[in-house]
Structure 1
């Protein structure tokens, strides 16, 4: 069917709709990344204050703990923040965190 005068072709309407949907998805991903980054930064601050280590070492401790217990970095960071507020860390995470802290406080 040929395009009617005054009406945009179907493809030109579908393309912006697809672009809007792609931008919404990207926006959601960026929001989650920003929240995760803030969480990690706060946990680094806790480790810096309590472990008396540098921010670089704080990040390394989180990363090593994450890898050791096979849990996402943001999840480890969340546990560290909750632990700083009195929550109990899972035993395996506590052990990995203590070991990583010991390695990095020895070099500080």
Structure 2
């Protein structure tokens, strides 16, 4: 018996047939969007952690997050997880800790303020 053309389709909510490849693509897209929303929330939380660690604007904190990610080879979403967990755990990978110290702790201790291009400048 030959497979019917409808064998590769699934009924949709309205009873029409939807091709399985389309369903699979849509499910993958929904999962990607869920991950993106979750990742964005974590990044926003990490920006908040950086705001409390150093005297900087939200834009500067986001730039710092990206810079630390780039310099340490840690994906931004993973770095965000580490930073959000840091107040509870008190633990960061050594490379991340060193870079955060360079980018956030030392400038704050020196009274330095980061401007938009990531370069330090003295606070007024």
Q: Which runs of 5+ in 2 are unaligned?
A: 11-17, 108-112
How many matched pairs?
A: 102
- Work out which of the residue numbers 85, 90, 95 in structure 2 matches 1:87: 90
Shift of residue 12 of structure 1?
7.8
Superposition map of 1:38-53 within 5 A? 38-53=41-56
Q: Which runs of 5+ in 1 are unaligned?
A: 1-7
Cα distance in 2 for partners of 1:49, 1:59 equals 13
| SS of structure 1 residue aligned to 2:19 | helix
Q: TM-score, structure 1 length as denominator?
A: 0.80
Q: Which has the higher strand share?
A: 2
Q: TM-score, structure 2 length as denominator?
A: 0.71
Shift of residue 11 of structure 1?
8.6
Say which structure, 1 or 2, has more relative contact order (CA 8 Å, 6+ apart).
1
Cα distance in 2 for partners of 1:53, 1:17 equals 50
Hey, what does 2:9 align to over in structure 1? Answer: 13
How large is the RMSD of aligned CA atoms in angstroms?
Answer: 2.4
Superposition map of 1:92-107 within 5 A? 92-101=95-104, 102=107, 104=114, 106-107=120-121
